[in-house]
Structure 1
Amino acid sequence: MSQDLLNSFQEAYSNLELFPLMERNEMERFRVEYGDDLIADLNQLVEDSPNGDGKIVFTGHRGCGKSTLLAEFSRQIQDKYFVVLFSIADKIEMSAVNHINILFAIAVNLMTEAEARRVDIPQSTKEALYKWFATRTRTEESNLQAEVSIGFDLLKLISSKLKADASVRDEIKQEFERKLSDLVARINEIAALIQAATKQNVLVIIDDLDKLDLGRVNEIYRDNIKALCQPNFQIIYTIPIAVLRETFISTIIATETNDQVVAMPVLKIFDKGKNRFLNAQPRPEATKILGEVLQKRIPSELIAAETAEKIVIYSGGVLRELIRISKECCRICLRTIRRNPSAKVIIDDKIFLQAINKIRNDFSIRLGKTDIDILQSVYEQFMPNDPKQPEFLDLLHGLYVLEYRTDETWYDVHPIIIESLRRQGAINVK
């Protein structure tokens, strides 16, 4: 076995982990200049908030790069604001997320960040806050120590209970369901203490709310958006793009946030309809960005240039899909090297087709007749017959359908799915 080749593909495989670029060393290694206009949009909304308590909703397809962009934005603005960025997935079991434990998680993370940065809060005040947290999470009294380090450990324990203990989450929900104002008052108290000590306004950014099931997201934002907007400091919430296609919810969100909704678009590989024609040329701006993403993760000697371009095209412009296809190609290559140690292995069109077939099968196995009909109408009209149909929203949420924005909003079928539709006779590919 060529150990060097195996090691090279193992490193590439590791580089293709589906993680947002949160740490500075990751940003330096892998970040591609992309989304600067969106960072400018977020910066304007935060900086120009009239009362310093604006709420922003940040949306986009899953895997389009929102988490990485929010991390970069938080880094750029952290000298001006006391920024608290956290993933809801790290704090609460995703199936159990509701508006009350989102607010409770804000309180915990504000206090945790204050401890980590050694914010000068009076000790007696901190002890009162620790006791408040401990009482509501059934944490043992022995954990209530005055020392800051113990306080930090207590907050870690409380965070773990919030994440793993369903009974604690239920108690929090029951306690604050009818007196939410008490929870909001405590959050505002913590934020005020931080602002007084640091002379910086608080900005909380909550990532991964867009990864919740649509039903749970609808409940949170449809029924409880007013509660999420009550804290008197700035918060950025994430939300699935499919939710904003539902008129009632999108109207509520726009009203409660004063139209402060920022959408991260999918990179448009082709102009509308151009990919329907043989030998259509992709847009160089998009292929340059996505091509650079690949170059930073896979050495050029491991992938054929023409195959890299095909991976870009079949990603549909979604970063997550670009990574997923590439990672599957690396998996195939690693298996091939181990089976045939003397083989000269490279990601070429043959490997690419194997990867695409695998992903296509994963996609297609979940499609029913209604889904096929919707995908057919999207392919033919660049728009579903009913954009509020639950099945369409599920397809949009699951990346079967991709949303593109130019001077209009239009939709297309994920490039990998098109072959499935053709095989079933639902469409004719030119």
Structure 2
Amino acid sequence: IKPGWWSNRDQRLLDDLENSLTTVIYQDKETDTEQLELPEVLKKLGLILKRGLTRDMTKTLNIRPAVSDIIARVNDIIKAAEKDRNQKLLVIVDGLDRHDLRTALEMFASPLLTELECHIIYTIPISLRYSPSFRQPMESFQCLDLYNLPVFQCDWPTATLRDRNSGPTSTANKVGRDILKSVITKRLAKINETDLFTPDALELLSEKSGGVIRDLIRLARGACQVALKKKKEYVDTTIAKEAIQEERKAYTINDYHFPELATVHETGRLTTNTHHLPKQGDVVICDELLQNKYVLGYYGDHTWFDVHPIIIEDLEQWQASQNSGAGNREQGTGNRESGIGNRE
């Protein structure tokens, strides 16, 4: 909370909020509610909202009325602050995209998140955005998609989107890549460094970012660190590949992921196939792939999906092993048939 956001604050409203928080916070033995300043009060509010929307808490404590009272007190503060500043407040709640799909769905299915009377922006997990279970809760929100820049072309027929021959290609998307490269060059220009990356290295880093700006910056930073370690004055493709390989280590692909990755890469569409996990039960595999950025979403005239380029070689190796295994099995069958013929 920025200093001075509410210059003529009403202490009575803050006291009312603190009292409403105390009715729930006292259940937490580690919580000290004495002398809470406003930022700390709102931190406690975030804790209570989170706990009030989780299954474990509601099993033992019916806090819905208390949370409603807390929200009413916060709305009183919002009205007073907006009147004092003569402008609307905007609240940005970051970090909710880090929750698993099940927890996020419970949170956003609750009407509590829409009861604060101000402009508010929530981040959500990407898998929740495309989950069929979120369609009804989504009606309470205006969803703003943050687009990934495509680094490859995706072919769709003009007559119908059901053509099975359509999907992602290996053809570079020049427009998307040029924008990504400009992000790096413009940052370098600010420090008067225009030749730090060779054109080929910049092209490779843009491709392997998958069009995700955060991944692009991390790859570029990693490449600079490799160059410094090797005492090089610039980043070439060799250094870029080493940085990409290091970043690739952060991705752990399970065996049951590969068939879905192959399908998405071939068709540009998500599947609804599930896999049973001991602690989570049946999970939609593509939801997990989206959440972990193994699969990325792209938008334009239509929505399509593709495998993150940084793991495409893993997918190709898996496909090669599958084809090799199938060939060996066919050869073995042929040998057995030949043996039978000889015995006859």
| TM score, norm. by length of structure 1 | 0.59
Residue 100 of structure 2 is aligned to residue 213 of structure 1: yes
Query: Counterparts of 1:234 and 1:253 in 2: how far apart (Å)?
Result: 17
Q: How far did 1:140 drift?
A: 6.4
**Structure 1 match to 2:149:** 267
Classify the secondary structure of the residue corresponding to 1:307: helix
Partner of 1:247: 132
Does the 8 Å CA contact 2:205/2:219 hold for their aligned counterparts?
Answer: yes
Counterpart of 2:235 in structure 1 is 347
Q: Which residue of 2 aligns with 1:200?
A: 87
The yes-or-no answer on 1:386 pairing with 2:272 is yes
| Residue among 173, 179, 191 paired with 1:289 | 179
Indicate whether 1:362 and 2:253 are aligned: no
Between the aligned partners of 1:131 and 1:384, the Cα distance in structure 2 is 48
* Deviation (angstroms), 1:400: 0.7
Task: Sort the Cα spacing of 1:207 and 1:175 in 2 relative to 1 into closer, same or farther, 3 A.
Answer: same
Letter in 1 for 2:299: R
Displacement after TM superposition at 1:370 (Å): 1.4
Contact 2:78 2:118 in 1 (8 A): yes
| Pair 1:289–1:358, CA change in 2 (3 A) | same
* Aligned 8 A contact 1:176 1:183 in 2: no
Change over 3 Å in CA distance of 1:194–1:180 after alignment to 2: same
Distance, in Å, in 1 between the alignment partners of 2:78 and 2:312 is 50
1:313 and 2:207 correspond: yes
Residue 301 of structure 1 aligns to a residue whose secondary structure is coil
* Partner residue, 1:116: 4
Please list, as runs of the form range in 1=range in 2, the aligned pairs for 1:18-417 lying within 5 A after superposition: 116-129=4-17, 137=25, 143=35, 154-158=37-41, 174=61, 176-222=63-109, 224=110, 226-254=111-139, 256-257=140-141, 260-273=142-155, 276-277=169-170, 280-284=171-175, 286-298=176-188, 299-337=193-231, 344-363=232-251, 366-386=252-272, 390-417=284-311
**Matched residues in 2 for 1:182 and 1:395: separation?**
39
Residues 142 and 373 of structure 1: CA distance in aligned 2, closer, same or farther (over 3 Å): closer
Which protein has the larger Cα radius of gyration, Structure 1 or Structure 2?
2
Cα drift, residue 347 of structure 1? 0.8
Shift of 1:126: 4.4
Q: 1:121 to 1:403 in 2, by over 3 A?
A: same
- Distance in 2 separating the partners of 1:161 and 1:229: 19
Which consecutive aligned stretches of 4+ in structure 1 deviate over 4 angstroms post-superposition? 123-142, 156-165, 172-175
8 Å CA contact 1:269, 1:317 repeated in 2: yes
Q: Distance in 1 between matches of 2:198 and 2:307?
A: 26
**How many angstroms does 1:161 deviate by?**
6.2
Checking the alignment, whether the CA contact within 8 Å between 2:20 and 2:69 is kept in structure 1 is no
Identity %: 28
Query: Does structure 1 retain, via aligned residues, the 8 Å contact 2:20–2:70?
Result: no
Q: Label 1:264 to 1:141 Cα distance change in 2 as closer, same or farther (>3 A).
A: closer
Q: Shift in Å at residue 162 of structure 1?
A: 7.0
CA distance in 1, matches of 2:72, 2:41: 19
Per-residue CA deviations over 1:245-287 (Å, capped at 9, x if unaligned) read 2112122222x23xx222111112232059744xx34323x22
In the alignment of these two chains, the number of paired residues is: 288
For the 8 Å contact 2:13–2:73, the answer to whether it is kept is: no
Amino acid at match of 2:153: D
CA distance in 2, matches of 1:357, 1:228: 41
- Indicate how the Cα distance of structure 1 residues 403 and 327 shifts in structure 2: closer, same or farther if over 3 A, else same: same
Segments of 5+ residues of structure 1 without an aligned counterpart are: 1-111, 144-152, 338-343
Cα distance in 2, alignment partners of residues 232 and 160 from structure 1: 18
Evaluate the alpha carbon distance shift between residue 128 and residue 227 of structure 1 in structure 2; reply closer, same or farther with a 3 A threshold: closer
**Higher percent of residues as helix:** 1
Matched residue SS, 2:219: helix
**1:14 counterpart residue number:** none
Residue in 2 that maps onto 1:70 = none
After superposition, the Cα gap between the structure-2 partners of 1:210 and 1:160, relative to the gap in structure 1 and judged at 3 Å, is closer
- The one-letter code matched in structure 2 to 1:192 is K
Amino acid at match of 1:263: D
- Residues of 1 paired with 2:104 and 2:202: CA distance? 36
Match of 2:342 in 1: none
Measure how far apart 1:355 and its partner are: 1.7
Query: Normalising to structure 2: TM-score of the pair?
Result: 0.72
**SS of residue in 1 equivalent to 2:296:** strand
In structure 2, C-alpha distance between the alignment counterparts of 1:408 and 1:120, rounded to whole Å: 49
Distance in 2 (CA, whole Å) between partners of 1:160 and 1:187 is 12
Q: Which runs of 5+ in 2 are unaligned?
A: 156-166, 275-282, 324-344
RCO (CA 8 Å, sep 6+): is it higher in 1 or 2? 1
